[in-house]
Chains A and B, each alone.
Chain A
Amino acid sequence: MAETLTSRKCSALIIGGSAGSLDVLLEIFPDLKNDINFPIILVTHRKSGNDSLLTDLLQSRTNLSVREAEEKQPILKGNVYITPADYHLLIEDDQTISLDYSEKVNFSRPSIDVTFQSAAEVFKDELVCILLSGSNADGVEGLKTVNKLGGLVVIQNPDTAVMPYMPQQAVNNAKPHVILNSFEMAEFINKLNFKN
């Protein structure tokens, strides 16, 4: 089943995670191929403060270019964009980034729901979203929208997540296409390259 799902076009990959997701990202990044031909956007809950820490940590593990997302920046294939702490990240129709300092959603800013929903409206059935470990229900509503608009919904196996609550809520409510263990994710992402 995973073969047929990954053989469709992927124009953007969004990965959302909260508590316990950093370990998964650190496991995925060294195994990503250098010729990924879509952009990757990360939305993770974290404290504001040392903004470059996560960027540096991930950059040291991949040859893809990792950077903090800036407003009005075009999202380009082969680049990894990290949502800055304390801002929501939205995608414009022209595939540029908008940052937004409005109310928290699910007690979170950035909120994973906000980016998933916004990206779903732009990329529709060419969007892939992955939801990782976490301890609140952010991301679930967003995945429902992704599903409704034809995107691919991927969730970390709650049994292997450090914080199973968030992926479990998503499994129960958002009708995932694929449930993956963390060690399977890099290969899955690499295969999304196939049909572009």
Chain B
Amino acid sequence: MISEAIDNEQIDALLSDVLEVHGYDFLEYSHASIKRRITRLYTLDNFVSFAEFRYTVKSDKQYFKRFLEEITVNVTEMFRDPGFYRSLRNDVLPVLGTYPFIRIWVAGCSTGEEAYSLAILLKELNLLQKSLIYATDINPSVLDKAKKGMFPLNYLKGYSENYVASDGVKDFSSYYTANYSLAKFDESLSSKMIFSTHNLVSDHSFNEFQLILCRNVLIYFDKELQHKVFQLFDNSLEKLGYLALGSKESLDFWPKAKEYKRVKLEKIWRKL
């Protein structure tokens, strides 16, 4: 686990290759995090030298898929931070419910746990039939998992507790069927989701939304890139739309933050 072998120049050289050969730009990611992810993968896969690792990343398309999946963080859960979901349920979605049609973007959706949580809320508020959830991620293989809507059964106890703590009133198990070690979520939930790759670093706005969720993605970006992504969200958000961030992320230091108003104590801002 010790990382003395890899220095900052090697990391930069590797990330420059990745940009040049594969078109993914990680140069504006938080350096300490990306370095740790790269070091972790390098150690995990037992490369004999960094040169060999760099060459493999550069030339082996199959391995690059693994690289992409492993250096981006895909840890997520359903109804994470129950207070946040309580606020969506009680403060945000009822307002959006007055619209004829609701468009939501889950940016950096990873394996889809937040998109499914959101769909459950919409269903309980009788809004799912007029909603569309665009769930995007940089990483095609996590999207394949998200589409299936199957999550490891041993996590469901924790998700169920989160759901109850977020003011969920139904029997959480009514939303899935257990199948061996997996819980398969009801297809009525995913019927209102559109999955697509989207790279927050290099891709543009593709629609206008009333709610954008992007939680625990921006912590991996440096400040300049965070501000670029806020601008992308701003371009993609209707007037009076909502932007929701992770529990340790904030709009505060972005110059245009004064055009947004915080919703209560949660990390949710409304565009004015």
Contacts and interface: CB of A to CB of B under 8 A. Distances in A.
Contacts of B250: 70
B31 A92 contact: yes
A90 B250 CA distance: 18
B75 A71 contact: no
Interface in B223-249: 223, 246, 248-249
A100 B33 CA distance: 7
Interface string A126-165: 0000000000000001001100110000000000000000
A141 B253 CA distance: 36
Interface residues of B, number: 22
A101 B36 CA distance: 12
A117 B225 CA distance: 25
A101 B4 contact: no
Given A71-B219, A72-B223, A100 B73 contact: yes
Nearest to B215: A101
Interface of A is mostly: mixed
B32 interface: yes
A113 to B, nearest CB: 8
A114 B32 CA distance: 11
B191 interface: no
Contacts of A179: none
A113 B223 CA distance: 26
B37 interface: yes
Contacts of B32: 90-93, 98, 118
A184 to B, nearest CB: 30
A144 B219 contact: no
A88 to B, nearest CB: 8
A127 B264 CA distance: 40
Contacts of B173: none
B8 A100 contact: no
Interface in A88-119: 90-93, 98-103, 113-114, 117-118
A98 B33 contact: yes
A148 B4 contact: yes
Contact of B33 (A84, A90, A117, A121): A90
Contact of B75 (A103, A141, A149): A103
Contacts of B219: 71, 87, 98-101
B2 interface: yes
Q: Tell me which of A70, A72, A84, A92 has the highest count of chain B C-beta atoms within 10 A of its own C-beta.
A: A72
A103 B33 CA distance: 12
B10 interface: no
A46 to B, nearest CB: 15
B220 interface: yes
Contacts of B8: 93
Interface string B25-53: 00000111100110000000000000000
A144 B2 contact: yes
Contact of B3 (A99, A100, A101, A121): A121
A99 B249 CA distance: 10
Contacts of B13: none
Given A70-B248, A100-B36, A101-B75, A149 B223 contact: no
